[in-house]
Every structure is written in C-alpha cells, then in structure tokens.
C-alpha cells in the first residue's frame, strides 16, 4: 500500500500545466490563462504546492494540491468584487460592503492588509489526509508574519459542504451569505464569506 510523504513548496513555472489541469478538474468555473501565469510567476499572488515525495521519480515533484492567495489593502477590499476572483462571473447584488468595515477597519492605519485565498484544491486520491488543512495553515502563518495583516478571508459556494466544514473546523468565522454571488452556466449560486483573524484582527 502506497504511503504518501507530503511536502509543501512554492509553485514554480514548471507546474503550469498540472496547475491548470487540477483547477479544471476540481472547480466548476474556468479560470483565465492569465491567472495561472500570474500564479507560477508570483505576480501579485502567493501560493503553496503539495507534492508526494514517495511517488516514483517522474511524479515525486508533481502537484497534488495547491492554495493561491493575494494580499489586498483592507480599505480597498470589498465583500463581493470581480477583480479578486479571476475567471469567475460575479454578480454582487447586495451593495459591496468593504471587508475593512467588517474587520473594524481603523482609518488611522491605512496600510492595513488582508490575505485573500483565491483557490484551494487537492486531487481526489489525496483527500481527507489533512493536506488542505496544512495548505491553509501555511497561508495563516504567512498572513500572521505580515505585521500590517489583519485577516485571511475567502469566498466559498454555498453547496460546498466539504470546504465549509474545513473552514469551520479551522476556526474561520462565517460572516456573510452573499446572494447570487456566483453565476455558473447561467445559474446563480450564493457564497459564504469566511474570515480568520490574525495579529489581533
């Protein structure tokens, strides 16, 4: 029986193809190729990959999971805004409140930042082994290491029970339900906004 040894490392340009493939496999939404280029070239995006070192040589550096995130200014971040989730069609029907407001944004500190998780995924054969948990821990550690950072946040589609359980288990707080946030194949779906406070948030 195959015993995986999971290692975490940054995503590299050579991961481009597999990164695109896993996104296509696990998400109902197509992301633009520009998004993947930005990830592998670390353009405004931070990311972590999970690989299984116990696989045979050809595959022991191949992605089996990933998380991608972006640093945003708290005063500019909005609860539902197109530009923070590339490739998705979003219809923010409620007025887009500022995430900063929800985080008790302090106007005397305009440099406050947040880390927004764009995508998280683990290939099916490697699920339920704590890999997504470890990837999110990396993001939280990174966010906590930035002194201006107040929180990590993300959106999740309302029917994604596995992901919702995962975020709740990791003590993310669900602070909003956004009606019709996603538009997929002509159908609207709600999203939940989850937040994890860091540095006294």
Q: Give the residues lining the site for ligand ACO (CB under 6 A).
A: 26, 117, 119-122, 127-133, 154, 156, 160-163, 165-166, 169
Residue recorded with tokens 């993300």: 154
Shortest distance (Å) from residue 118 CB to ligand ACO: 7
Shortest distance (Å) from residue 133 CB to ligand ACO: 3
Per DSSP, the chain holds a count of helices (H) and strands (E) of 5, 7
Shortest distance (Å) from residue 116 CB to ligand ACO: 9
Residue number with CB closer to ligand ACO (111 or 169): 169
Residue number with CB closer to ligand ACO (1 or 161): 161
Shortest distance (Å) from residue 179 CB to ligand ACO: 18
Distance CA 166, CA 17 (A): 27
Kindly write down the DSSP assignment for every residue of 131-168, as one continuous string: HHHHHHHHHHHHHHHSTTEEEEEEEEETT-HHHHHHHH
Residue number with CB closer to ligand ACO (63 or 108): 63
**Cβ–Cβ < 8 Å for 68, 80:** no
């Amino acid at each position: 029986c195959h015993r995986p040894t999971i290692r975490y490392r940054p995503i590299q340009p050579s991961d481009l193809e597999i990164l695109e493939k896993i996104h296509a496999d696990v998400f109902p939404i197509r992301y633009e190729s520009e998004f993947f280029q930005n990830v592998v070239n670390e353009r405004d995006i931070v990311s972590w990959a999970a690989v299984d070192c116990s696989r045979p040589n050809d595959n022991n550096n191949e992605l089996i999971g990933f998380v991608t995130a972006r640093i945003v200014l708290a005063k500019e971040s909005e609860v539902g805004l197109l530009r923070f989730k590339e490739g998705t069609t979003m219809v923010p029907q409620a007025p887009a409140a500022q995430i900063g407001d929800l985080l008790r944004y302090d106007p005397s500190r305009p440099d406050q930042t947040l880390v927004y998780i764009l995508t998280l995924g683990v290939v099916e054969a490697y699920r339920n082994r704590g890999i997504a948990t470890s990837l999110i821990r990396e993001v939280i550690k990174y966010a906590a290491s930035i002194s201006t950072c107040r929180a990590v946040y993300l959106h999740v589609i309302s029917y994604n029970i596995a992901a919702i359980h995962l975020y709740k288990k990791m003590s993310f707080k669900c602070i909003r339900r956004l009606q019709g946030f996603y538009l997929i194949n002509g159908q609207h779906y709600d999203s939940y906004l989850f937040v994890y406070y860091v540095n006294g948030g």
